[in-house]
Amino acid sequence: MNGNTTLRHENTSLLSVSEVTAPIEVTSAFYDEQLKSTLDRLGLPEGLLQRVAGVNSRRNWAEDSGGFVEGGVAAGKKALAAAGIEAGQIGLMINASVTRANLEPSVAVSIHDGIGLPSSAMNFDIANACLGFVNAMAVAGNMIESGAIEYALVVASEDASKVQRATLKRLQREGITRAEYLNEFASLTLGSGASAAVLGRADKHPEGHRILGSVTRAATWNHELCVGDHDGMFTDTAGLLSNGMQLVTSAWEEAHENGWDWTDMDRYIMHQVSDVHVNAITKAAKIPLERVPKTYPVLGNVGPASLPITLAREVDSLTAGDRVLAMGVGSGLNTSMTEIVW
């Protein structure tokens, strides 16, 4: 079945977006050192992560810290301070992280408690691979528009260290094949970090950044192309790229047929994956590459936190009236595009 789902917001604004950078840098050169014997045995060159993916480093939380939960709490508090909103004013808090230590309770409860949100603030997780944050913004926007809440806080905090360690151990084992190595290559692009955003009513916050709406599209018959857990991420890279680009192109074209005009945005904030991914999307949608900021070269793929982290790093360079398109593809496959007027 073809077709986009379209949401249009009349009274929702982005009031702030924050980033908390994980403190420990892990370079791709370090991975090359750890995998040298495997690379030599398989006849693979060093520097694949840098040359193919464009990922030179990523970040991790300190082992003696509170990790991703502490990072999510810090990002949430930072976003509240930037928006000038008190914790007691929040009516909804959504955690959009992929990372979780347990199946239950939700990650949201730990972050809700850590920030000191009121008992009246609803809280839950939305998990949809790398699209979780933009999906959470859409849900929060609809609840603001309905009058159910005044303010929402969306948080995503990721910890890729377990996946990194498990992947390195597997790639170092005797007998690994070239195909098996390349199937897990994407796991080493993952990084850790946290981001948060505060949403509120546009009529109460003329200084805010209007969220005009979004389109989403599903191609869920591709749900086995990228499967991950704490032990690793197993990816059909070629299939994921091909089918992902087909999905994005279909959604983009139909969105334009239905009144969205995204051909000349001031900034395109994409989910951060790799050079291959960015180059394919910009070529397919005829997007000027210079308007696509990149954080994956130094942060890697921070899952659903990647997009808001990248937006947070662009805040100081955006001016009133700038048009921003937040766009991404999540494993599954799903895609979403959200327009924000700065």
Angle of the 237-257 helix axis to the 275-285 helix axis, nearest 10 = 30
Give me the catalytic one of 33, 63, 104, 207.
Answer: 104
Separation between Cα atoms, residue 247 and residue 219, nearest integer Å: 7
Task: Pick the closest to residue 299 from 23, 1, 70 (CA basis).
Answer: 23
Within 10 A of 301 (CB to CB), how many other CB atoms are there? 26
Contacts for 27 with CB less than 8 Å, ≥ 6 apart: 56, 57
226 catalytically annotated: no
104 catalytically annotated: yes
- Is residue 200 within 8 Å of 208, Cβ to Cβ? yes
Could you tell me how far CA 334 lies from the centroid of its own chain? 13
Say if strands 334-341 and 323-330 run parallel, antiparallel, or are unpaired.
Answer: antiparallel
Angle of the 306-314 helix axis to the 132-146 helix axis, nearest 10 = 70
Task: Pick the closest to residue 259 from 292, 217, 212 (CA basis).
Answer: 212
Rounded alpha-carbon distances, angstroms, from residue 153 to 72, 99, 273: 11, 18, 25
Give me the catalytic one of 10, 46, 63, 130.
Answer: 130
Tokens of 43: 């006849």
Q: Which residues pair with 90 in a beta bridge?
A: 151
Contacts for 253 with CB less than 8 Å, ≥ 6 apart: none
- Just list the catalytic residues: 104, 130
